[in-house]
Amino acid sequence: MTCDVTEAAGRTSLVEWATSQFKELNILINNAGVQRDIDFTKGIAEFLAGSNEITINLETPIVLSGLFIPHLAGKREAAIINVSSGLGFVPAARMPVYSAAKAGLHAFSMALRHQIQAVGIKVFEVVPPAVDTELNPEGRAKRGGFKVELQPGEFVAAVMKGLANDQYEIGYGMTELSIRASREGLDESFKRMNSRW
């Protein structure tokens, strides 16, 4: 089903369709997302001109989780899988709103995991590093056609292994380190990542 999950009607119709078509549906994957380069030294115009990263990357997973939880509760192997980002742990200055929204999704995943374990739903957080996808083509073009070597299949294989082992926060490469880093380590990573801003 194709729908706009940023709109209340799209969210509701998705939940109604999915739960009626698939009575034993037991997993929700919150993966829709958008990433934008936004320069606040120019004011608010860039933020207001494009897709709302807060709505898509944070509000939508929160609302969809809440809408699906009554259906998922009590299902065998029920789970919610939130796809956050390494930038939720080590923010990129060129993508401040995306980084903030993904940090919020990380916090939500932690809190929700604790809260809904009582109704038998596991909450996983997948924390990708930069992966070769179509995310933020405008920003990549501005940076001279920024290329990423990590292919989706390699990352997905690591995610599947983490899910099979009930690893609730699943990273890969740099993000695996960020998940377990100290505050000092995260600060050092932030300095390195943003040294050319």
Q: Which residues contact 111 (CB under 8 A, 6 or more apart)?
A: none
Residue 168 annotated to the active site: no
How far, CA to CA in Å, does 161 sit from each of 26, 106, 131, 157? Answer: 19, 20, 18, 6
The DSSP string of 1-22 is ----TTSHHHHHHHHHHHHHH-
- What's the rounded Cα separation, in Å, for the pair 165 and 168? 9
Indicate the DSSP class of residue 196.
T
**DSSP of 39-105:** -GGG-SHHHHHS--HHIIIIIHHHHHHHHHHHHHTT-TT-EEEEE--GGGTS--TTSHHHHHHHHHH
Q: Which of 53, 87, 92, 98 is catalytic?
A: 98
Q: Are 86 and 177 in contact (CB under 8 A)?
A: no
List residues with catalytic annotation.
98
